[in-house]
A and B are shown apart, each in its own frame.
Chain A
Amino acid sequence: MTTIDPARTELQPSEAPSPRRSTGTRVTRAIGIGCLTAMGWLVAFGLGFSPADRDQKESVRILYVHVPTIWLAYLAFVVTAVSSGLYLFTKKRSLGWDRVAGASAEIGVAFVAVTLAVGSMWGRLTWGVFWQWDARLTTTALLFVTYIGYLAVRRLGGSHQQRAKRSAVLGMIAVIEIPLVHFSVKMWRSLHQEATVANLDGDTKMDGIMLFSLFVGVIAFTFLYVWLMLHRTRAMAMEDMLEDRGLDDALVARRAEAAAQQNGAR
């Protein structure tokens, strides 16, 4: 637990160098620039240089953002699971792992939300419907709700360690839950093909420039993920510090109160 000595936190304007006002560093700036550049390339190739698909026509362009977001979401949730495990099973139980797990899940949920929204637009164009109960969509929807539950559990309150342990266990349970759900949904849908409106399932054969555009998208969103992770984990560390400081301040105030009462009583 990070504890801050309340007496130290008041910096005298004269003695301190101007405080650093953000979570940014040279590294994040570099990654940020890389991300923006890659995004620019993605737009250029996705919307411009790459050709229309033979079957899907222009709607294939949506895949260049849709596919990277879901891949990065999967990565984010894997990171959550791994860092949850690292928190639980390392002797030190460093809260840093808990923050990585939490930040990654937040970003993952945001990415899945974008995936579902953008995917429904793709579906409207290719299938004619915004939604279908096929295996992949259904599982993705359940994945989304599962991790929203994870985020809700993180906000239940209590000490940092309690939060960390609770969400770490849940983060690891999700790793078992998701394959089980996916498998059940696949079984469910494999017997009911009539629910599929069209045969196109999004696995277009991509080659050449199309594949390149997809890679650019993956690279761009990976940069984005790392950038967001760095900033968010640092912000979370500060949130925890403030919470601790608030607790310390309250303790100091309470002791002062008790001392004053004693003095008054004498």
Chain B
Amino acid sequence: MSTWRVARLIAAKDLRVERRSKIVTNQVLPFAGITMVSFAFALDKQNVLDTVAPGLIWLATTFSLLILVQRSFSIETDDGALDAMRVAGVDARAIFLGKAMALAVQLLVVEILLLFAAVVLYGESIQSSGAVLALFDTPITVGGVDVLLGGTSTGAQSPVVAVVLLVTTLLSATCGLAAVGTLYGGLAAGFKGSETLLPLLTLPAVAPVLIGATKAVESAVGTAGAVVSEGWQWVGLLAVFAVASGIGGALAFGPLIDE
């Protein structure tokens, strides 16, 4: 069986476990939601929330990542499943890829929820940037989200580009987060004190994602005058990070779980 096929099987297994246990749906998603609410308690001013909303989305994502990783590996270590897989001769890279893919799917669900939460709770909206566009702007409400159509004559970006930027950011950030999470989750899995070790290892490592994804989303939604075109360099950073952590993780995972 090819590594890829095994990885897909493992990913499917993880997602099936989630479908039956519903831990992510019942616990992690509410956790993400309550985190966003907590941010509002702590940062009481509306204009502050507006400005930092993209960052808060990714902060909440990072915290949710930690919980998702803990969950992802607790289902393995509880019955020694990880060791069993290795003893059965499953390629470590396949395990890494499979678990990372499942983690990425769950993370994406969380992120989409968080985006909606930001729209609803913080009044976030996707805008075209530039004050000049005000002359041409016609507000259109699409599903509760105010979308301002920008005029094309001033070279303004259409919201479509902004949405593409947003989606690309989500995907590339998620891949990077999932790879790092899986790697360190595997390292810490099953050890005393691993619950506290995981955040300590993961947070510095995903700093590039936090920085890049926040900036990219800021560009997509036009926070503080950020332009969509500025966002692509950050997506570039996220992509490089995702590739580096994916390859590095796949290589390092084997030695780490081989004990």
Contacts and interface: CB of A to CB of B under 8 A. Distances in A.
A and B in direct contact, judged by CB atoms within 8 A: yes
B241 A153 contact: no
A184 B212 contact: yes
Given A153-B187, A157-B192, A142 B237 contact: no
Q: Which secondary structure dominates chain A's binding surface?
A: helix
Interface in A176-221: 176-177, 180-181, 183-185, 187-188, 191
A169 interface: yes
Interface in B200-259: 200-201, 203-205, 207-208, 211-212, 215, 230, 233-234, 237, 240-241, 244, 248, 252, 255-256, 258-259
Given A149-B197, A156-B193, A176-B248, A181 B187 contact: no
Given A149-B200, A157-B192, A180 B255 contact: no
Contact of A180 (B188, B201, B241): B241
A188 B215 contact: yes
Contacts of B215: 188, 191
Contacts of B201: 149, 152-153, 170
A181 B204 contact: yes
Interface residues of A, number: 29
A184 B200 contact: no
B191 interface: yes
- Interface size bucket, B side? 20 to 34
Interface string A149-164: 1001100111000100
B98 to A, nearest CB: 20
Contact of B191 (A148, A157, A170, A181): A157
A228 to B, nearest CB: 24
A173 B248 contact: yes
A22 B193 CA distance: 33
Contacts of B230: 191
B155 to A, nearest CB: 21
B66 to A, nearest CB: 14
30 contacts: A88-B255, A142-B207, A145-B200, A146-B204, A146-B205, A148-B200, A149-B200, A153-B201, A156-B191, A158-B259, A162-B259, A165-B258, A166-B256, A169-B187, A170-B187, A173-B183, A177-B204, A177-B205, A180-B244, A181-B207, A184-B207, A184-B208, A184-B211, A184-B212, A184-B237, A184-B241, A185-B211, A187-B211, A187-B233, A191-B215
Interface of A: 88, 142, 145-146, 148-149, 152-153, 156-158, 162, 165-166, 168-170, 172-173, 176-177, 180-181, 183-185, 187-188, 191
Interface of B: 183, 187-188, 191-194, 197, 200-201, 203-205, 207-208, 211-212, 215, 230, 233-234, 237, 240-241, 244, 248, 252, 255-256, 258-259
- Nearest 3 CB-CB pairs, A to B? A184-B208, A149-B201, A146-B204
